Structure 1
Amino acid sequence: MTTTPDLLQAALAVATALVYVGAAARQLLTLDGRRHRAPWDVTALALLAVSCHLAIFAIDLQKGVLDLGFYKISSLIFLIMGVISVVSLLVRPLQMVIIATFPFSALAVLVSAFAPPTGQPLAGLESGLLAHIVSSLLAFGVLTLTSLQGALLSVQTQRLRSHNTRGIVRLLPALDTMGQMFFELLAAGVLWLTVAVVSGGLFVDDLLGQQLVHKTVLTTLSWLLLTLTLAVHWQRGLRISTALSLVFLGYGLMAIGFFGSKLVVELLL
């Protein structure tokens, strides 16, 4: 039998998905690369979508457990990305990023609400382990946004080199602004990934055990690669193409470590 919170979550999930799509569509219709901030109605819709998404997560927390199944954790990561995007919209022109991410946020909310549960909900987590989980999710969310920003920057750079200023290039902010936002997101992502790696070493038992060794190795390699990229950029600068390649590789390693085992264990097996 469906409980009241489940019915409320289902209704909120549908409403949240509609607002996410509405915000992305409205931004697409008003997209202008010369704007330094999103229109007020886009920001309002984005804020409403994220608020509804937060309400869904709050209902989950009231059950006294933390569900980190594949679908739930995907929805939670998109929530984190949504919160960061809304805050960033107030000071940075990240409009293209929300056009790319909000439709997937809508899909993640719906799948999380209506798909069968996967994984085992966790209860009674110690504060240290909870800090590791939160910092890991924040790192993954921020670095996903970094990679999306990097993809846009890569397209923009290639188009400008070929003297093609039509299409998407006209809708993007200036190249210097795009690069600055990319490295700002990278710095924030590396910071949270550092917290995740340190807290994992302190509070997670058996990091090199059979269940966690691949995640530990891949995440550590990712952290080393992303940290090195950022350090070299700060010290002497990097060609943007080199920085993008290194970040894409580092993010790929982290994504495989973060989601690879969950995908295999919870969905394929």
Structure 2
Amino acid sequence: MYTYFFVLAALFYAACAFLPSKQHTAISTGTLIGWLLHGAALWVDVIGHGVLRMGFAIMLSGALWISVAIYWLENRNFSLDGLRVLVLPSAAIGVLLPTVFPGSLIPLDGKSALFPWHIAIAMLAYSTLTIAAFHAVLMALQESKLHTRLSVQKTGWFALAIDRLPALLTMEKLLFRLIGIGFFLLTLTVLSGVVFSEELFGKAFKWEHKTIFTMLSWILFGVLLAGRRWRGWRGKTALSFTLTGFTTLFLAYVGSRFVFEVILHRSLA
């Protein structure tokens, strides 16, 4: 039954992505309906009958679910119509990924009650930093256009989306807001994983691939926020740290799961 929710959510996202920008109410309502359907489908698919379903497709779908929520909320404060035609088509595709790549099942029997919360916070952290990286790419495209002074033909949805983006200063404020929230959630993820490792995972804390890459990502985002506060870092420095930190986090979670599940056809808990 939840598969139909994924499909319906994809249809709502796709429809709202290409509606005329003047239809604000229809876009906002349709996006909210698609987001609710998407969330309901993820909830039923991920948590069901005493097991937890995890995989790279579910994590990407969850990241896009958070991305849509952030776009919908921030669009009420800023004019982000340019983001609409970028975020929603991506979400329309991403929402269907769990139906193609179902991932692996993790039994919850014997697991601590903290375990689902740890996973949820980790997912929120990853999702927030994913949209921050996407946001940084858009800023890089904006900045490149300004510096090179190249004329961009206003044909095609992508070119129009770039032209509709808010000013760079506004985009930068949004970027650091996203990074701040993501870093806070990632800090909770790291702390809970280190302090409650044995209770959460049934084994003592140890340094492994996922842990090392997560810690590296946490350090990079922490250095970026510190540099922003005390050295006024911005522009290319901020974009470089953001994309490097996200790439590291991607390798820790989605990248490793993609290699195991799709390329090696193995389960990774």
Cα gap change, 1:49/1:242 in structure 2, threshold over 3 Å: closer, same or farther?
A: same
1:151 alignment partner in structure 2: 137
Superposed CA RMSD in Å reads 2.2
Once the two structures are TM-superposed, the CA of residue 251 in structure 1 deviates from its matched residue by: 0.6
Q: SS where residue 117 of structure 1 aligns?
A: coil
Pairs aligned (count) = 250
The range that moved more, 11-20 or 244-253, is 11-20
- Give yes or no for contact 1:16–1:53 (8 Å, CA) kept in 2: yes
Residue 50 (1) aligns with residue 35 (2) = yes
TM-score by length of 1: 0.84
CA deviation map 1:11-44 (0-9, x unaligned): 2222111101111112xx428xxxxxx9222211
Once the two structures are TM-superposed, the CA of residue 50 in structure 1 deviates from its matched residue by: 0.4
Residue 59 (1) aligns with residue 52 (2) = no
Gaps (5+ residues) in structure 1? 1-7, 32-37
1:232 alignment partner in structure 2: 227
Q: How does 1:117-266 map to 2 (within 5 A)?
A: 117-124=102-109, 125-164=111-150, 166=152, 167=154, 168=159, 170-204=163-197, 205-208=203-206, 213-266=208-261
Cα gap change, 1:116/1:151 in structure 2, threshold over 3 Å: closer, same or farther?
A: closer
Once the two structures are TM-superposed, the CA of residue 148 in structure 1 deviates from its matched residue by: 1.1
- Give yes or no for contact 1:129–1:203 (8 Å, CA) kept in 2: no
Q: SS where residue 121 of structure 1 aligns?
A: strand
Question: Aligned AA for 1:11?
Answer: Y
Once the two structures are TM-superposed, the CA of residue 177 in structure 1 deviates from its matched residue by: 0.8
Q: SS where residue 241 of structure 2 aligns?
A: helix
Question: Aligned AA for 2:220?
Answer: L
1:22 alignment partner in structure 2: 15
The range that moved more, 249-258 or 198-207, is 198-207
Cα gap change, 1:246/1:116 in structure 2, threshold over 3 Å: closer, same or farther?
A: closer
Cα gap change, 1:188/1:165 in structure 2, threshold over 3 Å: closer, same or farther?
A: farther
Once the two structures are TM-superposed, the CA of residue 57 in structure 1 deviates from its matched residue by: 2.5
* Aligned mates of 2:230, 2:52 — CA distance in 1: 41
* Aligned mates of 1:149, 1:54 — CA distance in 2: 22
Once the two structures are TM-superposed, the CA of residue 160 in structure 1 deviates from its matched residue by: 1.3
The range that moved more, 115-124 or 149-158, is 115-124
- Give yes or no for contact 1:218–1:256 (8 Å, CA) kept in 2: yes
CA deviation map 1:212-236 (0-9, x unaligned): x111111101110111111111122
Cα gap change, 1:250/1:153 in structure 2, threshold over 3 Å: closer, same or farther?
A: same
- Give yes or no for contact 1:71–1:111 (8 Å, CA) kept in 2: yes
2:200 alignment partner in structure 1: none
Question: Aligned AA for 2:252?
Answer: G
CA deviation map 1:206-263 (0-9, x unaligned): 4426xxx111111101110111111111122014111101111111011011122212
- Give yes or no for contact 1:80–1:141 (8 Å, CA) kept in 2: yes
TM-score by length of 2: 0.84
Q: SS where residue 54 of structure 1 aligns?
A: helix
* Aligned mates of 2:127, 2:148 — CA distance in 1: 32
The range that moved more, 252-261 or 71-80, is 71-80
Once the two structures are TM-superposed, the CA of residue 128 in structure 1 deviates from its matched residue by: 2.6
Q: SS where residue 129 of structure 1 aligns?
A: helix
% same residue: 28
